[in-house]
Structure 1
Amino acid sequence: MKSQKTWCVAKPSSDQAALSSNINYICSQVDCKIIQSGNPCSTPDNIINKASIAMNLYYHAKGRNKWNCDFNNSGLIVITDPSYGNCTYA
Structure 2
Amino acid sequence: MANEQKTWCVAKPSSDQATLLANINYACTHVDCQILQKGCPCFSPDSLINHASVAMNLYYQCKGRNQWNCDFRNSGLIVVTDPSKNYIQV
Per-residue deviation, 1:8? 0.3
Structure 2 runs not aligned, ≥5 long:
none
Any runs of at least 4 consecutive aligned residues in structure 1 with deviations exceeding 2 A, and if so which?
none
Compute the displacement of 1:49 (Å): 0.2
* 3-state secondary structure, aligned to 2:78: strand
Structure 2 CA distance for aligned equivalents of residues 53 and 43 of structure 1: 11
Q: CA deviation at 1:2?
A: 1.0
Residue pairs, 1:29-68, within 5 angstroms:
29-68=30-69
Please give the TM-score of this superposition, normalised by the length of structure 1. Answer: 0.90
TM-score (norm 2): 0.90
CA RMSD of aligned residues (A): 1.2
Q: What amino acid is the match of 1:60?
A: Q
In 1, the alpha carbon distance for the partners of 2:40 and 2:31 equals 16
What residue in structure 2 maps to residue 19 of structure 1?
A: 20
Amino acid at match of 1:81: D
